[in-house]
Amino acid sequence: MLQSTRIFKRLAGFTLTIALAAGLGGCAGQLPNADTLESAGFGLLADGPDSEASPHAKGHRGGHLGMPMLGMFMRDLNLSDAQKAQFKALFEQARAQHQTQRPDFKAIKEQFKQAFLSESFDAVALRSQVQSQAPDPAVISRHMAEHLLKAWQILTPQQQSKLVSRLDQMEARMQKFAAQGPAQGPHRDQLQKLAQQLQLSAEQQAQIQALWSASKPERTERHQQLKALKQSMLTELGNANPSVERMAGLIAPLAAKGQGQLGSHLDKMAGLHGILSSAQRAQLVSMMEQKHQARRGHSRR
């Protein structure tokens, strides 16, 4: 998934893996990827939340049970056949719940696309349209807590310890990523690639760098909140009788705030709209759609 919308997607989807990412591995859900710079302002244009065509929706090739990103979390845990069957059943239950509450993401993506291609980008109107379809954060939190607890209880103590270690490693990577600026690491490479593809001027590149840098405090705050949530969830799961109600209470504030962060993402998208020319915006959308189709073809192999 594209990074700038990862929290919103996670809250909107609430599949088993989403519960794992938001509860135990919230920081892992923010890891850098090849689309980091692109996703800073317009990630909602492609690979929409829980897109059925996305490799994240069907699981990477060779992944466990076809669950989105579950292979990342369960890799090398040596799940038994019985555990795999339990996870598969849990995933199907989560997916069924999700299908009853998911917004019409195809329509939302089309709205975002047309707004980005137009001469005027109305972030306020788009936010109102999306939020009117957003599921209840309390319901999301409850389902996430239920799925997370069931998933945790499927694992043996040894598997749980190994999973926590992997999540700690991911958190360390995220902390390093959060400290980087747009001229460092994957940001630099992506900006250079984008500059070549869209023929960005030096002024445009500087403006995009400024757009990314301006969101650093927000990214840092989100990282700290997710880190605290992970620790609180692990503490609760370590109790003799972990409570779904207490876990849902821990998730609820971040779930509500995550939906509110959509406005920030749209502001970035509006900022990018103002930086690029109409021809560059059209080219960018075309590039993202081609990438989406390539991923779709990969997921069907």
Length of the chain: 301
188 in Cβ contact with 182 (< 8 Å):
yes
Distance CA 280, CA 106 (A): 23
Spatial CB neighbours of 197, under 8 Å, sequence gap ≥ 6: 283, 287
Segments in 102-243 forming alpha helices (H): 105-117, 123-131, 137-154, 157-178, 185-198, 202-214, 216-237
Distance CA 60, CA 71 (A): 8
Distances (CA, A) of 261 to 165, 222, 258: 29, 10, 5
9 in Cβ contact with 39 (< 8 Å):
no
What is the residue-level pLDDT of the chain in tens, covering all 301 positions? 333 333 333 333 333 333 343 334 333 333 223 333 333 334 334 333 333 333 333 333 333 333 444 556 667 788 899 998 998 888 888 888 777 666 667 777 888 889 999 999 998 888 887 777 777 788 888 888 998 899 899 999 999 998 888 888 877 777 776 665 555 555 567 778 888 999 999 999 899 888 888 877 877 887 788 888 888 989 999 998 999 999 999 988 887 776 666 777 788 889 999 999 999 999 988 988 888 777 766 655 5
Contacts by 51-56, CB closer than 8 A, 24 or more apart: 51/105, 51/292, 53/292, 53/295, 53/296, 53/299, 54/1, 54/292, 54/295, 54/296, 54/299, 55/295, 55/298, 55/299, 56/1
Q: Is 199 helix (H, G, I), strand (E, B) or coil?
A: coil
Domain range for 290: 3-299
Q: Is 14 helix (H, G, I), strand (E, B) or coil?
A: coil
27 in Cβ contact with 227 (< 8 Å):
yes
Contacts by 96-102, CB closer than 8 A, 24 or more apart: 97/14, 97/143, 98/13, 98/14, 98/15, 98/50, 101/135, 101/139, 102/12, 102/13, 102/49, 102/50, 102/135
Neighbour count for residue 195 (Cβ, 10 Å): 16
Token output for 34: 């090849």
pTM above 0.75, yes or no: no
Torsion of CA 144, 146, 149, 151, to 10 degrees: -80
Token output for 27: 């920081």
The pLDDT of residue 297: 66
Domain count, the chain: 1
Sign of CA dihedral 173, 177, 180, 185: positive
234 in Cβ contact with 161 (< 8 Å):
no
